[in-house]
Structure 1
Amino acid sequence: MTSTDVNAHPWIKSYPEGIAWDTPIDTTPVHEQLLASCARMGDATALDFMGATTSFRSLGERINALAGALQTDLGVKKGDRVALLMPNTPFYVIAYYAVLRIGATVVNCNPLYSLGELSHIVSNSGAEILITLDLKVTFSNAEKLVGQGHVKKLVVAHFPDALPGAKKILYSLLKSKDLARPEHSAAAGVVVKFADLLGRNRTPSAVAIDAERDVAVQQYTGGTTGTPKGAMLSHANIAANRAQLDIWGSGLFRPPTKVVAVLPFFHIFAMTTCMSLPLCGGAQVVMLPRFEMKAFIALMKRTRPNVLMAVPTLLHALAHNKGVSADVLSSLKFAIAGGTSLSNETRDAFGEKSDALLAEGYGLTEASPVVTCAALQEAPRPGAIGLPIPATDIRIVSLDDPEQEVARGERGELVVKGPQVMLGYFSDDAATREVFTSAGYLRTADVGYFDEDGYVHLVDRIKDLIISSGFNVYPRAIEDAIYKHPAVDETNVIGVKDAYRGEVPVAYVKLRENESLDEAGLKAFLRDHLSKHEMPREVIFRDELPKTMIGKLSKNDLRADYEKTHSPEGQTK
Structure 2
Amino acid sequence: MTVSNFSPARSAAYHHPTPLGTIFTPASLPALFERTLHRNPDAPFLHFLGRTYSYKQIYAQAQAFALGLSRAGIVKGDRVGLFLPNVPIYAAAYYGSMMAGAVVVNFSPLYSVEELSWQVGDSGTKVLVTVDVPELYKTAKKVLDASTLETLVVGSLADQLPRLKGVAMKLLKRSQIADVAYGAKVKSWAGMTPAGTPPKVAVGPEDLALLQYTGGTTGRPKGAMLGHDQLSVNAQQVAGINPFGNPAGEVFVGALPFFHVFANTALLNHAMVTGGSIAMVPRFDAGQVLAIIQKYRCTGFPGVPTMFQALLDHPDLAKTDLSSLKVCISGGAPMPAPVHERFEAVTGVRIAEGYGLTESSGVVSANPYQGTRKRGTIGQLVPGTEVILLDKENPENLAPEGEPGELAVCGPQIMRGYWQRPESDADTFVRRDGKCYLRTGDVARIDEDGFLEIVDRIKDMIAVNGFKVFPSVVEDVILEHAAIKEALVIGVPDDARGEVPRAYVTLNEGATETGAELASWLNARIGKHERVDQVVVRDSLPKTMIGKLDRKTLRAEVL
Q: Normalising by structure 1, what TM-score?
A: 0.93
Query: Structure 1 residue 22: deviation in Å?
Result: 1.3
Residue in structure 2 matched with residue 491 of structure 1 by the alignment = 487
- SS in structure 2 at match of 1:111: coil
Paired residue type of 1:490: E
Residue in structure 2 matched with residue 193 of structure 1 by the alignment = 188
- SS in structure 2 at match of 1:467: strand
Identify which of 465, 468, 473 aligns with 1:477: 473
Equivalent pair of 1:11/1:455 in contact (CA under 8 Å): no
Query: Structure 1 residue 356: deviation in Å?
Result: 1.9
Query: Structure 1 residue 118: deviation in Å?
Result: 0.9
Identify which of 504, 507, 510 aligns with 1:514: 510
Q: Deviations over 1:134-172 (max 9, x none)?
A: 111211111011111321111110111111122212222
Pairing of 1:92-241 with structure 2 (within 5 A): 92-183=90-181, 188-198=183-193, 200-212=194-206, 214-241=207-234
Query: Structure 1 residue 11: deviation in Å?
Result: 5.1
- SS in structure 2 at match of 1:480: helix
Equivalent pair of 2:249/2:276 in contact (CA under 8 Å): yes
Q: Deviations over 1:299-321 (max 9, x none)?
A: 12211201000001111211233
Paired residue type of 1:305: C
Residue in structure 1 matched with residue 356 of structure 2 by the alignment = 363
- SS in structure 2 at match of 1:330: coil
Highest RCO, 1 vs 2 (Cα 8 Å, sep ≥ 6): 2
Equivalent pair of 2:84/2:107 in contact (CA under 8 Å): yes
Residue in structure 2 matched with residue 451 of structure 1 by the alignment = 447
Residue in structure 2 matched with residue 31 of structure 1 by the alignment = 30
| Residues 328 and 549 (structure 1), Cα distance of their counterparts in 2 relative to 1, 3 Å cut | farther
| Residues 96 and 252 (structure 1), Cα distance of their counterparts in 2 relative to 1, 3 Å cut | farther
Equivalent pair of 1:497/1:504 in contact (CA under 8 Å): yes
Equivalent pair of 2:27/2:204 in contact (CA under 8 Å): no
| Residues 7 and 128 (structure 1), Cα distance of their counterparts in 2 relative to 1, 3 Å cut | closer
Structure 1, unmatched stretches of 5+, are 1-5, 564-573
Query: Structure 1 residue 520: deviation in Å?
Result: 2.1
Q: Deviations over 1:267-307 (max 9, x none)?
A: 00001111110122111110000011222222122112010
| Residues 17 and 288 (structure 1), Cα distance of their counterparts in 2 relative to 1, 3 Å cut | closer
- SS in structure 2 at match of 1:290: coil
Q: Deviations over 1:239-265 (max 9, x none)?
A: 110111111114567121100011100
Residue in structure 1 matched with residue 405 of structure 2 by the alignment = 412
Query: Structure 1 residue 482: deviation in Å?
Result: 1.1
Equivalent pair of 2:264/2:362 in contact (CA under 8 Å): no
Q: Normalising by structure 2, what TM-score?
A: 0.96
| Residues 205 and 193 (structure 1), Cα distance of their counterparts in 2 relative to 1, 3 Å cut | same
- SS in structure 1 at match of 2:247: coil
Query: Structure 1 residue 10: deviation in Å?
Result: 7.0
Q: Deviations over 1:345-403 (max 9, x none)?
A: 11111112222221111010000021111112214201211111111110001011111
Paired residue type of 2:498: G
Query: Structure 1 residue 209: deviation in Å?
Result: 2.4
Equivalent pair of 2:253/2:301 in contact (CA under 8 Å): yes
Over the aligned positions, Cα root-mean-square deviation in angstroms equals 1.8
Whether 2:337 is the aligned partner of 1:341: answer no
- SS in structure 1 at match of 2:353: strand
Structure 2, unmatched stretches of 5+, are none
Identify which of 425, 429, 445 aligns with 2:422: 429
Query: Structure 1 residue 196: deviation in Å?
Result: 2.2
Residue in structure 2 matched with residue 51 of structure 1 by the alignment = 50
Task: State the identity %.
Answer: 38
Which shifted more, 322-331 or 267-276? 322-331
Whether 2:457 is the aligned partner of 1:461: answer yes
Query: Structure 1 residue 8: deviation in Å?
Result: 5.0
- SS in structure 2 at match of 1:370: coil
- SS in structure 2 at match of 1:249: coil
Distance in 2, matches of 1:408 and 1:240, equals 32
Residue in structure 1 matched with residue 72 of structure 2 by the alignment = 74
Residue in structure 2 matched with residue 292 of structure 1 by the alignment = 285
Paired residue type of 2:190: A
Which shifted more, 143-152 or 86-95? 143-152
Identify which of 320, 323, 330 aligns with 2:323: 330
Equivalent pair of 2:17/2:241 in contact (CA under 8 Å): no
| Residues 469 and 328 (structure 1), Cα distance of their counterparts in 2 relative to 1, 3 Å cut | farther
Equivalent pair of 2:79/2:126 in contact (CA under 8 Å): yes
Equivalent pair of 1:10/1:453 in contact (CA under 8 Å): no
Query: Structure 1 residue 498: deviation in Å?
Result: 1.1
Distance in 2, matches of 1:520 and 1:142, equals 47
Paired residue type of 2:370: Q
- SS in structure 2 at match of 1:438: strand
